[in-house]
Chain A
């Protein structure tokens, strides 16, 4: 077992709006192990990006604590301390076009973080940039190119290179391949996995694409309206999703299997508002199994080793799930 790199406890991030507090991240606890990838999935607006950004202190948390490599980083402040954290924890954004400075060449973008540390000589910086470009698979001939001259895949490579410049331990990948075509998407996913193998990186991989997340993640956390509803090793989650929302999410993925799409679980009903939500399960208005008990606050329970779910009915629902996924080839009986 590898050691814990990040421990998040009861993390909350609320945004104030005129209509009340948006509970973007509400009482989320999770552990990220060194060298592994935690996939975070959920619908847009469920708080997955906010979680990633709060974790590396791009946003300040409302409550809770974040341990990074044994150090409590929840309230560190000051330029010096935050810069030290940025050397260890980085982020790659979805849209490399808007996250790269349009007035900086590839070389300048990659140099910037190195210059800011004031630790390297010019020669060292140039060497490091060359290494980086080789690492991310960018030709030397585009060294002086601006972002608009590059295609989406290359731009994303530059975004990855910038994140890697100072040799971080942890990278939040916020939908890094969502804007790319499948053939390019595969190139970038392979690059991210190669880098992980070479440098022992830990990733938090935020996406709404279930097949991508299954491919790259060691563990997966499913979020719904700011809350963690299920977290589990990847294989177990796909074989035995326990939360009704996860079941619906997995059944909604279009498969390329001509033989038969497993039966869809269609969700009805309106979304609950994330503004000052009432206690209780936030999924209950769309949940086909909701009962009175679902109006009570839900707790994460470990139903199988490493497999946690926040649904008071999860244990009894396993059999129903079996019925829904009877034709599903991943299904195995518990």
Chain B
């Protein structure tokens, strides 16, 4: 999609597998992504599509015992993160790239004061004194709307929304260049979600931070993202600018996703649903990975694997029948 030489983050042909009870789970199957500074890329897809695995691969925090990156590379400003030693990677993790996890209830250490959890990050990466780290931690807490007197509070004394603010504060403590936000607000109520997202957007815009936003909420994508990748069974089915995909969803799966969301403006009673279930990641279907659920699948879809092809500038789609299907859909209405 972009000139790869000066790309800020580039993931190339990433393949990640897990082994569990002797079975190989094909979690990520050849994903390529690009992201520029100050831009937000949304990864959209259902549970088990491989979104979080992509995030964890970039952070290099996949569990050693069960997961392995089979091939591919992840370039951060031209440097392949997968080639770094663990010691060098530690300098990147938390400082240049940081991650916000989905569940605020389990991402904090319950036995540590929240202020210390943040100043610890600052102390490790910036080699500053304890007092200086505390000062910086207080200012970052204030940035996320938590007053200095709560520095000594423990996680259990906070509500879910407040804990998520602490986690965001921790992720932002060293002004990372790239933030991986994995469902940052899924566990929260909508009014609190709005507060947290506004805060993340403000910080992103202020520091030109790049962001990968993992979510299944297309409403959040519409607000926040510049580009988006629709992930299914560890593959990108559609990739492009937000405008291109929202105005012209071209893969049958993307079309299905858009139709399955109860719409705040439509009055139809039945929701269009995608029949069936996502494939078993231990035995992926031959041909197009979506064909068992695709209402438009034909013989070729069952045997030949489609490539991710450019269908218009800034819009890629992995479906050989995309234009025919759009024609079919248009004729129905």
**Chain A residues with CB below 8 A from B221, complex form:** 256
**Chain A residues with CB below 8 A from B192, complex form:** 43
Q: Kindly identify which residue among A152, A184, A258 contacts B247, using a CB–CB cutoff of 8 Å.
A: A258
Q: Which residue of B lies closest to A211 (CB)?
A: B262
Interface residues of B in 257-277 (CB under 8 A from A): 257-258, 260-265, 269-275, 277
> Is A181 a contact partner of B46 (Cβ separation < 8 A)?
yes
**Chain B residues with CB below 8 A from A329, complex form:** 265
Interface residues of A in 177-196 (CB under 8 A from B): 181-187, 189-190, 193
> Is B190 a contact partner of A261 (Cβ separation < 8 A)?
no
Q: Kindly identify which residue among B195, B223, B247, B277 contacts A261, using a CB–CB cutoff of 8 Å.
A: B223
> Is A264 a contact partner of B260 (Cβ separation < 8 A)?
no
Interface: A166 (CB within 8 A): no
Docked complex Cα distance between A211 and B194 (Å): 15
**Total contacting residues, chain A, CB less than 8 A:** 40
Docked complex Cα distance between A257 and B218 (Å): 10
> Is A258 a contact partner of B269 (Cβ separation < 8 A)?
no
> Is B219 a contact partner of A255 (Cβ separation < 8 A)?
yes
Docked complex Cα distance between A165 and B260 (Å): 28
**Least CB distance, B329 to chain A, in whole angstroms:** 18
Fill in one digit per residue for B198-236: 1 if any A CB lies within 8 Å of its CB, else 0.
100000000000000000111111110000000000000
Docked complex Cα distance between A214 and B190 (Å): 15
> Is A190 a contact partner of B270 (Cβ separation < 8 A)?
yes
Docked complex Cα distance between A146 and B276 (Å): 20
Docked complex Cα distance between A45 and B261 (Å): 26
Interface: A153 (CB within 8 A): yes
> Is B262 a contact partner of A212 (Cβ separation < 8 A)?
yes
**Chain A residues with CB below 8 A from B195, complex form:** 266-267
> Is B194 a contact partner of A183 (Cβ separation < 8 A)?
no
Interface: B256 (CB within 8 A): yes
9 A-B residue pairs with Cβ-Cβ distance under 8 Å, sorted by A, are A44-B160, A189-B262, A190-B271, A251-B194, A254-B197, A254-B219, A258-B243, A264-B194, A266-B198
Taking Cβ atoms with an 8 Å cutoff, the residues of B that contact A are: 46-47, 159-160, 189-195, 197-198, 216-223, 242-243, 246-247, 256-258, 260-265, 269-275, 277
Taking Cβ atoms with an 8 Å cutoff, the residues of A that contact B are: 43-44, 151-153, 181-187, 189-190, 193, 208, 210-212, 214-216, 238, 248-249, 251-258, 261, 264, 266-267, 271, 329-330
